[in-house]
Amino acid sequence: MKSMTGFGRAVKESELATITVEVKSVNSKALKVRASLPRLFNRFSVEVQKAVSEVVKRGDVDLFVKFTPTEKFTPPITVNYSIAEKVIEAAKRAGAVTGTEIGVSLRDLLAFPEVFQKEEEDPEPLKPQLFEAVGEALQELDASRRAEGEKLKEFFLRKIETIEELVGRVEEKAQGINKLLFERLKEKVKKLLEGEELPEEFTKRVELEVALIAEKQDVTEEISRLKLHCRRFRELLEFEEPVGKTLDFLCQEMHREANTLGSKLKEVDATDEVIAIKSEIARIKEQVQNVE
């Protein structure tokens, strides 16, 4: 199990350049990748995002690449002599019109960017170095997310153990609740009908209805499902693939069962336990949002 929060960094040096890659991720409902690359590496943007998606399945990821070239990679400056000659000729013609000799210095030519041109850089020789740095940064990010995932796993196991203990206490208190409710309801009905002469068939029917009402207050199924959900939660914590969404859904199911327990156990002194169960589930759900 992995957390969606992590950080990775890698630096790769060569005779051509130093490439630094930093990548960080936080929680998100889906995978979002933003890659900030130097203009030189823009053509590799899709490949970089693909590399990220192979390691990260869910989360909001920001990847930054810093590129520092050495002198060996600095592209040469070329002189466009054709344009330079045209500039000089134009200056001479302007001087002839005005009757003034106009000289064109090197400083004057520097004002024309078309004269001195920087050759286009070729990023291909740097591609292996770039992706080696990206790969190492992603490995460090993955290790960071796994380490955070282990901390979350320990937290979840403690909370699940607490919930199981609380459910056990509720189960003890709920033993015999059907019989207790039946006797209470039967006594109330008996008082309501006291002094009335009713046929035996009607009396039996009333007892049947009372028994059905008492049965509806039974919490055996809710307790069984809560125990089952706790076992399933433990199993999912051991999975390698992303389980965050499944755990979130499981929390919703556990909370629903806890709510039903609370509504059914009004006749039993289990309010503190039910509130504590809901509280633990809420703490789990909050942290589940960080699980990939």
The CATH class that applies to domain 6-73+123-144 reads alpha beta
34 φ, ψ to 5°? -120, 120
* Other Cβ atoms closer than 10 A to 181: 21
Q: Sorting pLDDT into bands at 50, 70 and 90, what band is 270?
A: confident
Write down the residue that tokens 């399933």 correspond to: 232
Which 8-state DSSP code applies to residue 291? B
Q: What is the C-alpha to C-alpha distance for residues 149 and 147, in angstroms, rounded to an integer?
A: 5
| Mean pLDDT lowest among 50-54, 76-80, 89-93, 140-144 | 76-80
Distance CA 10, CA 23 (A): 9
What are the tens digits of pLDDT across the range 71-101?
A: 887 776 777 788 878 878 887 887 777 777 7
Distance, in Å, from the CA atom of 89 to the CA atom of 107, rounded to the nearest integer, reads 16
SS3 119: coil
pLDDT at residue 215, as a whole number:
56
Burial label, 204 (beta-carbon count in 10 A; 0-12, 13-18, 19+) = exposed
**8 Å CB contact between 33 and 52:** yes
Residue bearing tokens 């490949």: 47
The residue that leads in pLDDT, 5 or 109, is 5
Query: How many angstroms separate the CA atoms of 288 and 252, rounded?
Result: 11
CA dist 142 and 51 (Å) reads 12
Which pLDDT score, from 0 to 100, does residue 28 have?
93
For residue 272, give every residue at least 6 positions away whose Cβ sits within 8 Å of its Cβ, in sequence order, or none: none
φ, ψ for residue 29 (rounded to 5)? Answer: -70, -25
Residue 20, strand partner residues? 11, 66
Q: How far is CA 127 from CA 55, 95, 215, 291, in A?
A: 19, 52, 71, 33
- pLDDT in the model for residue 78: 78
Confidence of residue 218 (pLDDT cuts 50, 70, 90): confident
Residue 62 is predicted with a pLDDT of 97
Residues 6+ apart with CB under 8 A from 227: 164, 167
Task: Write out the DSSP string of 50-73.
Answer: HHHHHH-SSEEEEEEEEEEE-TTT
Would you kindly state where each structural domain of the chain is located, as residue ranges?
6-73+123-144, 77-118, 148-288
The pLDDT of residue 232 is above 90? yes
Percentage, residues of the chain above pLDDT 90 = 58
Going by C-alpha positions, the residue among 183, 188, 273, 171 that lies closest to residue 222 is 171
Q: Name which residue leads in pLDDT, 112 or 282.
A: 282
Q: If you compute the radius of gyration of the chain from its CA atoms, what whole number of angstroms results?
A: 37
Sheet-wide strand order for 59-69: 6-13, 17-26, 59-69, 31-36
47 is written with which tokens? 């490949």
Identify the pLDDT of residue 244: 94
